[in-house]
């Protein structure tokens, strides 16, 4: 997959762009609803003998427009989004820099720049996609535009779970509450976090629970603080793990940013400096402050037994 970064003011030469069937949207999380839109674009590309593409934006429009619900963290930061799209078989990712100038474009100007200008021959969106100044463009205006331009258009109906629309907002609510299993069900793929293993306080090894301390990069939307059953990929191998996301109140009092550390089951290697990927699986318990090391170790023993049984 080739990623092409675009700005609304940059000239795009039509001759440089392959004719594509494109899915358009922000696609944070690339959940089952998003996947339905993207897969339809891929299918149409095969039917019409076109390349497949995704047109998306960064950062989230709320960041630029200063909305009350500003979204500066993501279920799938850019590199996670790129990896998922590549695995889906997308040929081109058009990444548009979302700016106030872009937000002020009329629907017609947007289509000229980013649909006609990107040689889109077939366009697919969700039923509720909006674009252009103040969201004045929608599925209806795209249908009208398709009749006047050199592309065809279709909107994909909403995808539901238990009669409720699958949405990034719903998934964020589930993640925030620690309900990782239902979140993953709606996503249709694991929710992951990738980071470098860094040197921590090395206290875990003194109590029989050595951990990989993971530097949290980019703007990940994190689950609530607590202990989780996770899978962790290290050097192309995947292991079960016991993760603690939190502030380690038994040992420190003033932490303001959560730490992520993972005790990897049946593992004994030095992996400092390695990039690892954590897949959140199940919330086990809240993070609590213990009255001494013995109480902490006893609880860790219980956690490990529960997580081992979960993966058995």
Query: CA-to-CA distance for 40 and 275, rounded, in angstroms?
Result: 33
Task: Determine if residue 226 is left, alpha or beta; phi over 0 gives left, psi from -120 to 50 gives alpha, anything else beta.
Answer: left
- List the domain boundaries for the chain: 2-165, 190-311
- Write the class of the CATH domain 190-311: mainly beta
256-290 residue pLDDT tens: 568 899 999 999 899 999 999 999 999 999 988 88
For residue 16, how many other CB atoms are within 10 A of its CB?
A: 9
DSSP state of 115: I
> Who's near 278: CB < 8 A, 6+ residues apart?
192, 193, 194, 195, 214, 230, 231, 232, 241, 243, 260, 262
pTM score, whole prediction: 0.90
- Statement: residue 292 has pLDDT above 60: yes
92 and 20 Cβ atoms separated by less than 8 Å: yes
- Domain 2-165, CATH number (from 3.40.50.1970, 3.40.50.620, 3.40.50.300, 2.30.130.10): 3.40.50.620
CA trace torsion 77, 82, 83, 88 (10° rounding): 130
Give residue 141's pLDDT.
Answer: 94
Q: Is the pLDDT of residue 28 over 90?
A: yes
The helix or strand, by DSSP H or E, that contains position 304, with its residue range, turns out to be helix 293-311
Determine the pLDDT at residue 252: 58
């Amino acid at each position: 997959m080739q990623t092409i970064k675009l700005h609304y003011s940059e000239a795009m030469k039509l001759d440089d762009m392959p004719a594509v069937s494109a899915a358009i949207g922000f696609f944070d999380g690339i959940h089952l609803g998003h996947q339905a839109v993207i897969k339809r674009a891929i299918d149409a590309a095969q039917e019409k003998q076109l390349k497949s593409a995704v047109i998306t934006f960064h950062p989230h429009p709320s960041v630029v427009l200063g909305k009350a619900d500003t979204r500066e963290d993501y279920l799938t930061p850019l590199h996670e989004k790129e990896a998922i799209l590549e695995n889906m078989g997308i040929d081109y990712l058009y990444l548009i820099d979302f700016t106030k100038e872009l937000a002020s474009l009329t629907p017609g100007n947007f289509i000229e720049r980013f649909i006609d200008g990107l040689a889109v021959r077939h366009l697919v969106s969700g039923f509720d996609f909006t674009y252009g100044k103040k969201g004045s463009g929608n599925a209806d205006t795209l249908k009208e535009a398709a009749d006047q331009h050199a592309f065809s258009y279709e909107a994909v109906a909403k995808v539901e779970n238990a009669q409720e629309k699958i949405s990034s907002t719903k998934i964020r609510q589930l993640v925030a509450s620690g309900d990782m299993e239902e979140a993953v069900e709606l996503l249709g793929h694991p929710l992951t976090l990738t980071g470098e293993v860094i040197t921590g306080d090395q206290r875990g090894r003194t109590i029989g629970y050595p951990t990989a301390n993971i530097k949290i990069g980019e703007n990940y939307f994190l689950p609530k603080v607590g202990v989780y059953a996770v899978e962790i990929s290290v050097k192309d191998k995947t292991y079960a793990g016991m993760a603690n996301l939190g502030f380690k109140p038994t040992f420190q009092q003033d932490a303001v940013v959560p730490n992520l550390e993972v005790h990897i089951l049946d593992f004994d290697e030095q992996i400092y400096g390695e990039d690892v990927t954590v897949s959140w699986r199940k919330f086990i318990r809240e993070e609590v402050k213990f009255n001494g090391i013995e109480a902490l170790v006893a609880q860790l023993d219980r956690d490990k037994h529960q997580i081992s049984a979960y993966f058995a």
